[in-house]
């Protein structure tokens, strides 16, 4: 394996050794199309040679934007085969964000999925001085687009085939020139403060981290993986490109974001990765279906679910499961757990991972209890997506697993998690100062996360180090822990907890419009919009009861005492959360300062003006008077 030091070389190996095995599939117009590793290699080769014919040089950057599509993955590997760098971006980014990334990375080529994405590029064309070529995948709607710098994917490949015939061996020679320290990806971090930073990941980072992952978890060449997460997220790059190329398993691209759940059920992948928001949404769907079921079905579901969770807690604590409970779980597998996994598309899953942010313990236990081998993985863009992983026999909602062999973890004096290993990134593009801030002289990467290593050797992540604090009485306060508890409710989509150096904890809640809307409709409660629904007295009462349920599982000092229902969801376009749904706490605290003042001054209402940002950058103001509620009667205010 010594010579397999770059991703294109791994592709060449798969084309030789796994030539006829499926490499990637795409669902198009309801039909799964399959490409073998031999065909995958041929597609990449043709596109790479087309880029070479058009002057693409070593070190240049190629960006991709769109949903998960085989051609967008091929384009990235093709650029890397020529010594270029892949720069994936979030397909739902607003114009300002795209302009920043494409300008900062000096992208020479952009490969776009369809007309919608090409139109975004057209709107920014004058700002992108270094852009020479735009390539589109889907030709629908593109007939009348006539620009010298715009070509279809087929045009570039056809040009590449002609160029290859005239320059035999050119592609292979370029691949051989690749070195482990060549930059393969620039992944922009969806940081919680300021502009995103471009983390440079090398081929060496990618291949060595893949080797570590393959040693820590079981990957098989006949595995199926569903590629549906944003390509700009390091998790997608790591599993869909890096691990697939390293192991040789097949990746599957759903027809569209709207059909992911249906395609997941149809495919039944053996490997699954999803951030906490996805697992929470799946759980919400199960809870809503259970609540809507006839009385007998609902009682059967709840009884077997409770039995499974009791058994899972006992197993997690290392205690024996009584015979009666084992029998109940066995019956539950027939009547509830198996059918639920089948409906969710998880019946074949050997393991499923959650990462990107901590997952609430209740949500984690639910999936484990119904037979999904869900495990936590911890990593970041700067660590090539991997630091620690839970073994299947040691999965636990409170830890992020054991540091993988070959990756060193150390806890700094103030509890910050430090990481060192082959996956640590090369640095931030054009930002040496920021690189020096996070990588010290001994090569340790400072993650910014607060945590510790428990007696079993598992890494426990508490929260972002800057967010961990204490209440006024000295009680430790980790807002993310409380927020995850609140989000276990199917009616709560997002939560932001406050309490640092305050007398008590308060929370802003964004309702889930679908589940709350269904709840309202079943009760004949009319509403016209998200804002109208969220401010109904009946909805406030519903959320108050959900918070009380959450409080019952929290220590008295950290229970939520006051809350407010937001008139809109927290939105990445409004900079309130990142593209991976992490709360930008400092910005939110400033934006909603009036709410925080009302929480702690005893106010019962607040005038709220929130700005909504549209995709093209236009903004509109939303003004409303919103009630601040006490959870349990009167509260002693700070």
| Assigned domain for 233 exists | no
Structure confidence at residue 617 (pLDDT): 64
**Residues 357 and 275 sit within 8 Å (Cβ to Cβ):** yes
When pLDDT is averaged across residues 320-330 and rounded to a whole number, the result is: 91
Among candidate residues 422, 416, 417, the one with its CA nearest the CA of residue 404: 422
Last residue of a domain, one of 214, 229, 256: 214
Instruction: Give me the percent of the chain exceeding a pLDDT of 90.
Output: 68
Question: What is the Cα–Cα distance from 585 to 597, expressed in whole angstroms?
Answer: 16
Residue corresponding to tokens 């006829």: 20
Six-digit token string for 80? 């890397």
Q: In a 3-state reduction of DSSP, which class is residue 259?
A: helix
Last residue of a domain, one of 464, 479, 514: 464
Q: Are residues 388 and 492 in the same domain?
A: no
| Assigned domain for 231 exists | no
Q: Are residues 531 and 459 in the same domain?
A: no
**Rg of the Cα atoms in the chain:** 25
Q: Which residue has the higher pLDDT, 116 or 613?
A: 116
Give the side-chain half-sphere CA count within 13 A for 365.
20
> Residue 356: pLDDT above 80?
no
Provide the β-strand partners of residue 200: 186, 427
| Assigned domain for 227 exists | no
Q: Are residues 498 and 404 in the same domain?
A: no
CB-count burial class (<10 Å; 0-12, 13-18, 19+) for 154: middle
Structure confidence at residue 414 (pLDDT): 79
| Assigned domain for 635 exists | no
Give the side-chain half-sphere CA count within 13 A for 556.
1
Confidence of residue 615 (pLDDT cuts 50, 70, 90): low
| Assigned domain for 293 exists | yes
Question: What is the Cα–Cα distance from 410 to 430, expressed in whole angstroms?
Answer: 28
Quickly count: other Cβ atoms within 10 Å of residue 397's Cβ.
21
Six-digit token string for 350? 């050997």
Structure confidence at residue 571 (pLDDT): 85
When pLDDT is averaged across residues 226-245 and rounded to a whole number, the result is: 95
Provide the CATH number for the domain around residue 358: 3.40.50.12780
Pairing of strands 445-453, 374-378: unpaired
Q: Are residues 473 and 455 in the same domain?
A: no
Question: Could you read off the pLDDT of 385-409 as tens digits, one per residue?
Answer: 999 999 998 888 888 999 999 999 9
Last residue of a domain, one of 464, 479, 498: 464
Structure confidence at residue 616 (pLDDT): 60
Q: In a 3-state reduction of DSSP, which class is residue 24?
A: strand
Quickly count: other Cβ atoms within 10 Å of residue 126's Cβ.
7
Q: In a 3-state reduction of DSSP, which class is residue 382?
A: helix
Sheet containing 427-428: which strands, arranged edge to edge? 150-152, 133-136, 107-112, 61-65, 85-88, 183-188, 198-202, 427-428
| Assigned domain for 84 exists | yes
Q: Are residues 459 and 551 in the same domain?
A: no
Q: Are residues 65 and 171 in the same domain?
A: yes
Structure confidence at residue 126 (pLDDT): 93
Phi, psi for residue 3 in degrees, rounded to 5 = -80, -10
Provide the CATH number for the domain around residue 485: 3.30.300.30
> Residue 484: pLDDT above 90?
no
Distances (CA, A) of 413 to 336, 379, 500: 48, 21, 21
Domain that holds residue 93: 7-214
Looking at residue 242, the DSSP 8-state letter turns out to be I
Q: Are residues 145 and 65 in the same domain?
A: yes
Q: Are residues 475 and 427 in the same domain?
A: no
When pLDDT is averaged across residues 339-361 and rounded to a whole number, the result is: 89
Question: Could you read off the pLDDT of 573-588 as tens digits, one per residue?
Answer: 777 887 777 788 888 8
Q: In a 3-state reduction of DSSP, which class is residue 575?
A: coil
Structure confidence at residue 25 (pLDDT): 97
Pairing of strands 271-274, 250-253: unpaired
> Residue 635: pLDDT above 70?
no
Question: What is the Cα–Cα distance from 224 to 505, expressed in whole angstroms?
Answer: 44
Instruction: Give me the percent of the chain exceeding a pLDDT of 70.
Output: 97
Question: What is the Cα–Cα distance from 559 to 556, expressed in whole angstroms?
Answer: 5
| Assigned domain for 235 exists | no
Six-digit token string for 291? 């609540």
> Residue 104: pLDDT above 60?
yes
Q: Are residues 60 and 113 in the same domain?
A: yes
Q: E strands within 454-491?
A: 459-464, 469-470, 476-477
Q: Are residues 430 and 303 in the same domain?
A: yes
Sheet containing 445-453: which strands, arranged edge to edge? 408-411, 416-420, 445-453, 459-464
| Assigned domain for 563 exists | yes
**Residues 149 and 58 sit within 8 Å (Cβ to Cβ):** no
Q: In a 3-state reduction of DSSP, which class is residue 504?
A: coil
Q: Are residues 320 and 398 in the same domain?
A: yes
Q: Which residue has the higher pLDDT, 314 or 599?
A: 599
Pairing of strands 271-274, 351-354: parallel
**Residues 570 and 576 sit within 8 Å (Cβ to Cβ):** yes
> Residue 193: pLDDT above 60?
no
Structure confidence at residue 634 (pLDDT): 47
Q: What is the mean pLDDT of the chain?
A: 91
* Secondary structure of 132-169 in HEC code, one letter for each residue: CEEEECCCCCCCCCCCCCEEEHHHHHHHHHHHHHHCCC
Structure confidence at residue 638 (pLDDT): 47
Q: Sign of dihedral through CA atoms 319, 323, 327, 328?
A: negative
Sheet containing 619-630: which strands, arranged edge to edge? 492-498, 505-511, 560-565, 619-630, 605-613
Q: Which helix (H) or strand (E) holds 250?
A: strand 250-253
Structure confidence at residue 292 (pLDDT): 83
CB-count burial class (<10 Å; 0-12, 13-18, 19+) for 108: buried
Quickly count: other Cβ atoms within 10 Å of residue 168's Cβ.
9
Q: Are residues 488 and 457 in the same domain?
A: no
Of the candidate ranges 215-224, 325-334, 451-460, 463-472, the one whose mean pLDDT is the lowest: 463-472
Which residues, in sequence order, are CB contacts of 411 under 8 Å at separation 6+? Answer: 417, 418, 451, 452, 453
**Residues 189 and 196 sit within 8 Å (Cβ to Cβ):** yes
Structure confidence at residue 26 (pLDDT): 96
Structure confidence at residue 2 (pLDDT): 40
Question: What is the Cα–Cα distance from 523 to 337, expressed in whole angstroms?
Answer: 30
Six-digit token string for 229? 């997460």
CA dihedral 59, 65, 67, 70 (to 10 degrees): -40
What is the domain count for the chain? 3
Question: What is the Cα–Cα distance from 453 to 401, expressed in whole angstroms?
Answer: 10
CB-count burial class (<10 Å; 0-12, 13-18, 19+) for 370: buried
Give the side-chain half-sphere CA count within 13 A for 484.
20
**Residues 99 and 188 sit within 8 Å (Cβ to Cβ):** no
Structure confidence at residue 468 (pLDDT): 79
> Residue 192: pLDDT above 60?
no
């Amino acid at each position: 394996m010594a010579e397999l030091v770059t991703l294109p070389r791994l592709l060449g190996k798969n084309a030789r050794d796994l030539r006829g095995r499926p490499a990637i599939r795409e669902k198009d117009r309801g039909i799964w199309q399959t490409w073998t590793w031999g065909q995958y290699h041929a597609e990449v080769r043709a596109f790479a040679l087309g880029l070479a014919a058009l002057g693409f040089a070593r070190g240049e950057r190629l960006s991709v934007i769109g949903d998960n599509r085989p051609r967008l993955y091929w384009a990235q590997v093709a650029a890397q085969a020529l010594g270029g760098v892949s720069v994936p971006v979030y397909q739902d980014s607003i114009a300002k964000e795209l302009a920043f990334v494409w300008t900062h990375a000096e992208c020479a080529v952009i490969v776009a999925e369809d007309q919608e994405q090409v139109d975004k590029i057209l709107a920014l064309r004058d700002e992108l001085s270094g852009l020479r070529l735009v390539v589109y995948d889907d030709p629908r709607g593109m007939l009348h687009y006539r620009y010298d710098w715009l070509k279809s994917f087929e045009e570039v490949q056809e040009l590449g085939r002609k160029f290859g015939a005239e320059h035999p061996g050119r592609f292979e020679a370029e691949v051989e020139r690749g070195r482990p320290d060549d930059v393969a990806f620039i992944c922009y971090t969806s940081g919680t403060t300021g502009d995103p930073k471009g983390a440079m990941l090398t081929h060496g980072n990618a291949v060595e981290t893949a080797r570590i992952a393959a040693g820590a978890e079981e990957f098989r060449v006949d595995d199926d993986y569903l590629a549906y997460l944003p390509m700009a997220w390091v998790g997608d790059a790591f599993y869909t490109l890096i691990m697939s190329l390293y192991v040789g398993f097949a990746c599957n691209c759903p027809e569209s974001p709207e059909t992911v759940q249906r395609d997941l059920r149809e495919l039944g992948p053996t490997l699954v990765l999803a951030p906490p928001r996805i697992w929470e949404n799946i759980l919400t769907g199960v809870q809503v279906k259970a609540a809507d079921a006839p009385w007998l079905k609902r009682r059967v579901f709840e009884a077997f679910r409770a039995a499974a969770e009791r058994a899972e807690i006992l197993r997690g604590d290392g205690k024996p499961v009584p015979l009666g409970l084992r029998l109940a779980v066995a019956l539950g597998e027939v009547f509830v757990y198996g059918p639920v996994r089948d409906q969710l598309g998880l019946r074949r899953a050997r393991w499923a991972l959650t990462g990107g942010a901590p997952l609430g313990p209740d949500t984690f236990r639910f999936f484990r209890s119904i037979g999904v081998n869900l495990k936590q993985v911890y990593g970041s863009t700067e660590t090539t997506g991997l630091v620690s992983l839970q073994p299947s026999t040691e999965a636990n909602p409170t830890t992020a697993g054991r540091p993988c062999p070959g990756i060193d973890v150390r806890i700094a004096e103030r509890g910050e998690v430090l990481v060192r290993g082959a996956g640590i990134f090369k640095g931030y593009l054009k930002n040496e100062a920021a690189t020096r801030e996070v990588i010290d002289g001994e090569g340790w990467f400072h993650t910014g996360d607060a945590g510790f290593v428990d007696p079993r050797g598992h890494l426990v992540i508490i929260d972002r180090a800057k967010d961990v604090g204490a209440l006024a009485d000295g009680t430790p306060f980790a807002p993310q822990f409380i927020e995850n508890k609140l989000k276990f409710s199917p009616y709560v989509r997002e939560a932001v907890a406050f309490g640092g150096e305050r007398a008590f904890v308060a929370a802003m809640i964004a309702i889930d419009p679908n589940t709350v809307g269904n709840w309202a409709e079943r009760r004949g409660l009319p509403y016209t919009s998200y804002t109208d629904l969220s401010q109904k007295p009946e909805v406030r009462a519903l959320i108050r009861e959900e918070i009380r349920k959450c409080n019952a599982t929290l220590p008295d000092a950290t229970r939520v005492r006051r809350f407010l229902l937001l008139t809109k969801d927290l939105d990445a376009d409004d900079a309130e959360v990142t593209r991976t749904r992490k709360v930008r706490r400092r910005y939110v605290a400033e934006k909603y300062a009036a709410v925080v003042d009302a929480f702690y001054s005893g106010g019962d209402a607040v005038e709220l003006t929130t700005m909504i940002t549209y995709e093209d950058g236009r903004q509109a103001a939303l003004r409303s008077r919103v009630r601040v509620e006490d959870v349990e009667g009167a509260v002693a205010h700070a």
